Structure 1
Amino acid sequence: MKNKYRKYLMVFDQDKKWGFFINNLGRTVISPNQDYPSKDHPDDYVFEWSKGRVLDEFHLVLITKGEGVFESEQTGKKRISDGDVFLLFPRVWHRYKPSKKTGWTERWVGFSGEIANQFLANGFFTAEEPLLSKCNTESVLNHFNTLFKLFDEEPFGFQRLASGICVQLMAELYNIKQGGNNIEDLNSMISKAKSLMYKNIKQSIDLEKMATELGVSYSKFRIDFKTQTGVSPLQYYLLLKIEKSKELLLNSNKNQKEIAYELGFESDFYFNRLFKQKTGLTPGQFRNFQK
């Protein structure tokens, strides 16, 4: 890998209209005792440690070797080490630097746009908690490498392609944030649970017994399931039943009572109430509206 790669981009109106665009990206190897930051960045990006800096865009910085410090208006001073990511937010004062003893290797991407603002303003990432650990995974590094290749070659529509890759990168980091060190175990357990729910869609299911069979307490199962899906196991199971009932309403001549019975609902009344709660329509209204 070259010790330094940087690209600062011209952003045009059509890029901005897309809603998510890359302003700059790069990778740099900072050797021990090397001055930091270097002075060969554009004026909008260079800063002095004593003064810090405020940007008008988001930055994502990944450290893959070495250690140092990060400080922002919200966090105070934080130690940074190999595998850490820190996010810089628009109009938030910050500063960071590698240790003189170790230096560090950094990769970064700066981005802006209405979609970026919505994506990060919805609480997935916050200026109060901008640090993530153990992010130097193969997938994260591959996303960075794909971005570098795109901006080296600049094929037709490269900004739009890059915006999608950057969103994938942010999704990967959010998964790391939510799943921590247990992503593989979490994926395996939740996938098995979803499969069992689907196989048992036409009857009632004992979710506490399912958790025991998966080797965890129900409280942990519920927390992990909601972490990955955004809803509780029970709500997910009921939504599966509702989706299956939609299929039966549209592709069979079975009446509402027959469908409720087939899918294991405790009563026709409960099925009707739940269906309307989840869809805004009664089963009969849904069938007539779709025809």
Structure 2
Amino acid sequence: MKQFNQGRHIHGYPPVGEASRRLGLYLTGAGYEFIKPGDPYPLPSHPELYAFTWQRGRTLPEYQLVHIAAGAGEFESEATGHIKLEAGMVIMLIPDVWHRYRPDPSTGWESHWISFDGELPHLWGNACVIAPETAIWSPDSKLELSNRYQEIINLVVNQPEHVSTAATALALSLLAMVLGDRLALQEQTDTTLNPLLAREVSDPMVAKALKMIWTHSHRGLSVPKIAADINANRRTLERRFAQVRGRSVLSEIIDCRITRAKRLLIETHLPIKRVAYGVGFSSPTHFAVSFRRELGLTPATFRKRFRKRPTR
């Protein structure tokens, strides 16, 4: 196993064992960096696979989870655009997505990271648990998070013979901790994001329309298209929908889009323009008008008021 140690910079890249592969997730590296204000970055000691410069950035063939324990910096990727980093944030780097990041020269930073791959993270990606657009967030239990990272790094650097399975188990625990609050939020909003879960809809025509709306509202969806796709007369659909849901089909589409937009505004740093198009609105102006009509706030004000801030 290769090890790198430059004072307070420690990196390890262990071999991958077959036992870890069978678990569905295997650790390929771990490290800690203490970058003082004004220090050059990135460090030159990484293998070529992980090396990058701010000018050219990089893409990785595997996943990496970076934790900014102290300090501040900046991040940029194709999916998120430019984002300011603060202490307590984590960055989930996705394979084959160009990115770059660096500490603020005036503060430096202290960071931990692990790199990993396997069947499990790809399944999480397919389920949208992790995605390039939501690469940065501030999880709870930050002290516990730092401690868990340190356990993994110590094992990788000091006990390489135990890395294959023990470090994989610790990495799974760390990922569960980091992703836990995001999954909890999804569970809390499942009945909001899918009214079919909130209550059974006995009218099969309305049930089909609801399923289509809450599955495809981010696309160019319209009432005539829904009626055509479920083989229903438009006027009949609108009448029966209003009887069951107490509102129009169009109102349901807009509500679905705004519900998803609220989550993106709180959880991600995507520009409001990209949020608007991403949830299905035809323009940022239409999005802003609909959002304000529904909530009494502009999207920017909503994001500022409700976004989860990292604790210091």
1:93 aligns with 2:94: no
**Take 1:99 and 1:155, find their aligned partners in 2: how far apart are those partners?**
33
**One of 6, 27, 49 as aligned partner of 1:22:** 27
Residue matched to 1:166: 171
Partner residue of 2:135? 130
2:74 aligned with 1:69:
yes
Alpha-carbon RMSD: 2.7
User: What does residue 50 of structure 2 align with?
Assistant: 45
How does the TM-score come out when normalised to structure 2? 0.55
Cα pair 1:70 1:97 within 8 Å, conserved:
yes
* Partners of 2:64 and 2:92 within 8 A in 1: yes
Structure having the higher Rg = 1
Q: Residues 39, 156 of structure 1: CA spacing in aligned structure 2 closer, same or farther, 3 A cutoff?
A: closer
Give 2:68's aligned amino acid: I
With over 3 angstroms needed to count, the CA separation of the structure-2 counterparts of 1:15 and 1:104, relative to structure 1, is same
- Closer, same or farther: CA 71–225 of 1 in aligned 2, 3 Å: closer
Find out whether 1:150 has 2:150 as its counterpart.
no
Deviations for 1:88-133, whole angstroms, at most 9, x for unmatched residues? 0000000000011111111000001112221333211111111111
Q: 1:143: how far off?
A: 1.6
**Structure 1 residue 234 displacement after superposition:** 8.6
The aligned amino acid for 2:78 is E
Distance 2:26 2:126 in 1: 16
Distance 1:110 1:16, change over 3 A: same
CA–CA distance in 2 between the matches of 1:155 and 1:28? 20
TM value normalised by structure 1: 0.59
Deviating more after overlay: 16-25 vs 85-94: 16-25
Change (3 A) 1:15 1:175: closer
Higher normalized contact order (CA 8 Å, seq sep 6+, divided by chain length): 2
How many angstroms does 1:136 deviate by?
A: 5.8
- In structure 2, how many angstroms separate the alpha carbons of the residues matched to 1:60 and 1:175? 14
- What SS is found at the alignment partner of 1:128? helix
In the alignment, which of 69, 85, 99 is matched to residue 80 of structure 1?
A: 85
* Structure 2: stretches of 5+ with no match in the other structure: 1-6, 201-312
Unaligned residue ranges in structure 1 (runs of 5+): 181-221, 236-291
Task: Please give the per-residue CA displacement for 1:236-273, whole angstroms capped at 9, x wherever unaligned.
Answer: xxxxxxxxxxxxxxxxxxxxxxxxxxxxxxxxxxxxxx
The percentage of counterpart residues that share the same residue type is 28
Shift in Å, 1:14: 4.7
Question: Quick one: which amino acid aligns to residue 71 of structure 2?
Answer: G
